[in-house]
Structure 1
Amino acid sequence: MTEHRNIPISLPSTGEEEWLALKEPLLSGWLTQGPKVAAFEADFAKRHGVKHAVATTSCTTSLHLILTALDIGPGDEVIVPAFTWVSTANVVLYCGATPIFADVDPKTYNLAIDQVANKITERTKAILPVHLFGRCADMDALAELAPNIPLVEDAACAAGAAYKGRAAGSLGIAGAFSFHPRKSITTGEGGMVTTNDDALADRMRIIRNHGASISEEQRHLGPKPYILPEFNLLGFNYRMTDLQGAVGLVQLQKLDGLLEERRQWAEYYSRELASIKWLRTPQVTEEYSHGWQAYVCFVDETVAPRPRNSMMEFLQSKGVSTRPGTHAVHLLGYYKDRFGLAPEDFPGARDCDRFTLALPLHNQMTASDYRYVVAALKELE
């Protein structure tokens, strides 16, 4: 390796089309939630096989919106994975409810079904499986385990992913997506709720807009400008802007092509790294159409030439950005202190926190970039 590179862990795939898409809302003057958001919602719902899509400011607010619309509050419990981004647990606390952690399977990074079974009580009002890194959770097993408990999908990483031929976001009572720049498609910040439940969708649209009984479009475009909305629900300002909606429309048109490119390079990684015995690459079966938001490996430090953190420092010195997969939430100070949690309470999540390694995988990388990453990893052997 004679040539030094700087390969970021992720970069959004944006360009001239997204730039031009901003022109129409800027010239029209309709910058807040409006026709571009509505069009983005309609196209996103169609792509993910659901009746309704409700755009929001982030996946975090999408999750909060769903739980609020389900009337989850004080005294209620919501089961969440112990290995996930912190907002999955935070939104439960926002509602005044209690997050109940369940361990994950280190081979899939998703909820371990047998661990969920031990956490269900009469106070369990929802289960919040995460489709981590773009691989859907085992939703059929969860539905069989808890047929009367709503399943709320944290699909932050899973735009375009599928499970047994069904799109992420259509597998539970509702799903929440992220359009953060580290995701496969982006609107800068932004999120989306998907659902097939008509009443839930209506309720979420109202809560998203301060609890207003009529939308901004109805107020400004209707024949009676003197009408103000009634407020019968406590709501939030979780509306997406039309600038974001315009960018989202363009990004969504690219989604399938972006996912196919990521899939091909994920297969390349798996093929080229198979000879590294201390590195377990992502496991994918035919039941899953992976969204490949990230390519996350597991380092077996019992046989590895050096600890994971030392590997990450070496790769960084070579210009290859890596990251741990995500957090073990029960190890984070706030949750550890508030709920009296210890590392050994969730050993699967603890080990994923310590030993996962995310490699660069995004649509701005070249073939030579991928070869460079593989060569850098093989230098560690």
Structure 2
Amino acid sequence: MCLNCLKVNIHMRKIEIAMPVTGKEEWLAVKEPLMSGWLTQGPKVAEFEQAFAARHEVKHALACTSCTTALHLILVAMGVGPSDEVIVPAFTWVATANVVVYCGATPVFVDVDRTTYNMDPAQVACKVTERTKAIIAVHLFGLCADIDAISEAAPDVPIVEDAACAAGASYKGRPAGTLGVAAAFSFHPRKTITTGEGGMVTCNDNALADKIAMLRSHGASVSEEQRHLGPKPYLLPEFNLLGFNYRMTDLQGAVGLVQLGKLDTFIGERRKWAQYYCRELRGIDWITPPEISDGCGWQAFVCQVDEEKSPLPRNEIMEALQSMGISTRPGTHAVHALGYLREQFSLEDEDYPEAMKCDRFTMAIPLHNRMVEEDFKYVAEAIKHL
């Protein structure tokens, strides 16, 4: 595709950075809870949980309102609180660090490996103290963190997976969600499958699962299903825990069940086009595509821009692509440089240099299941002709 052809197409195309794939099946799926009148957490959520647990090979899956609340539930159930420390990567979405603060604990940041964007295991051991209660390992953009290396660096510290981007992903043949004491998934519309908003906790620990189930529903000792479907209408729950209202609705559960059935197809399509991008962009000396991994869930395709070689600074490249109808985004944040966390914990930009480079030089380009072949070709050609 020549440059003039690209210019002709500018006003004909609008390729979003991400778009959910929903349609008639999802629309029909919400009919049952709408007609039954059971709209809050109920049988459809339970069905979604069972299917999600089976797909990810875990005993327990517990749906909630978001990945943020899923992470919060895990930390609270583990007893994380004031005076505790939780190790988190310095390059991630802000929620990873925020949930630690919600518990009154201190996030301790670790720099990242720029080839994977994930926590650098080599830097973990020196961050562990007697106050360390957990490590949150983020599977950023769908690529699982190096869990074995992190475990080796801190063998006595429980690992929590922030698997927001990693539904369907795997690490050395093991599904995301089975790699730590518990995991948290996201169903935000930018993720591979969606329920609008929504999250899921997975774990294999019966006691931990029971506690999380209570915590997500105000700390109630009896579930809504037990109360409303059981033979004792007078039964009310006891509240022995200070809990939260973090329940998913049955409308979301119905949609999630349909979406989950498409997960492997979605990932397969994304893997195909990620490989295409890598082939097409390999010859451009100023852009570095992400590394291909068989287990990656490909929630996003995030490149690095070398501004010493690039025709324009990264931000101007993003503006140029936007003018051609191609949406882009920075990968995510160097969270230690964000205002609240920076001031609250006396952090400096230079404390985590690799995270700052990722913050300044990463660029996500469109990768989602509503795109067609011509869209991917158009994006690749546009980048080549900058």
Q: Does 1:342 align with 2:360?
A: no
Is 1:89 aligned with 2:82? no
Q: How does 1:56-205 map to 2 (within 5 A)?
A: 56-205=64-213
Unaligned runs of 5+ in 1: none
Matched, 1:327 2:338: no
Q: Specify which of 54, 62, 74 is matched with residue 54 of structure 1.
A: 62
Give 1:290's match in structure 2, choosing from 296, 308, 313: 296
Percent identity for Structure 1 against Structure 2: 69
SS of residue in 1 equivalent to 2:9: coil
d(CA) in 1 for partners of 2:9, 2:327? 16
Separation in structure 2 between the aligned mates of residue 118 and residue 300 of structure 1, nearest angstrom: 30
**Aligned-partner Cα distance in 2 for 1:143–1:336:** 28
Checking the alignment, whether the CA contact within 8 Å between 2:66 and 2:197 is kept in structure 1 is yes
TM-score by length of 2: 0.97
- Is the partner of 2:127 in helix, strand or coil? coil
* 1:362 corresponding residue in structure 2: 368
Q: 1:227: Cα distance to partner?
A: 1.1
Picking from 280, 298, 308, the partner of 2:288 is 280
* 1:290-309 Cα shifts (integer Å, max 9, x gaps): 00000000111121111100
| Per-residue deviation, 1:245 | 0.2
RMSD (Å) for aligned C-alpha atoms:
0.7
TM-score scaled by structure 1?
0.98
Aligned residue pairs: how many?
378
One-letter identity of the residue aligned with 2:59: K
Structure 1 residue 11 and structure 2 residue 45: aligned?
no
Q: Does 1:301 align with 2:307?
A: yes
| Counterpart AA for 2:189 | P
Match of 1:229?
Answer: 237
2:222 counterpart letter in structure 1: I
**CA shift for structure 1 position 223:** 0.7
**Structure 1 position 254 matched with structure 2 position 262:** yes
1:329-370 Cα shifts (integer Å, max 9, x gaps): 011111111112111100000000000000000000010000
Amino acid across the alignment from 1:283:
E
Query: Quick one: which of 241, 252, 255 aligns to 1:244?
Result: 252
Q: Deviations over 1:58-112 (max 9, x none)?
A: 0000000000000000000000000000000000000000000100011100000
Give the aligned residue type for 1:42: Q
Q: In structure 2, which of residues 216, 223, 229 is the aligned counterpart of residue 215 of structure 1?
A: 223
Residue equivalent to 2:324: 318
CA distance in 1, matches of 2:186, 2:226: 27
Structure 2 residues not aligned, in runs of 5+: 1-5
Structure 1 distance, partners of 2:252, 2:98, is 25
| Structure 1 runs of 4+ with >4 Å offset | none
Deviation at 1:148, TM superposition (A): 1.6
State how far apart, in whole Å, the 1-side matches of 2:135 and 2:312 are.
Answer: 38
> Corresponding residue for 2:28?
20
Shift, 1:284, TM fit: 2.8
Distance in structure 2 (CA, Å) of the matches to 1:325 and 1:109: 9
CA distance in 2 between counterparts of 1:379 and 1:6 reads 18
Amino acid at match of 1:363: N
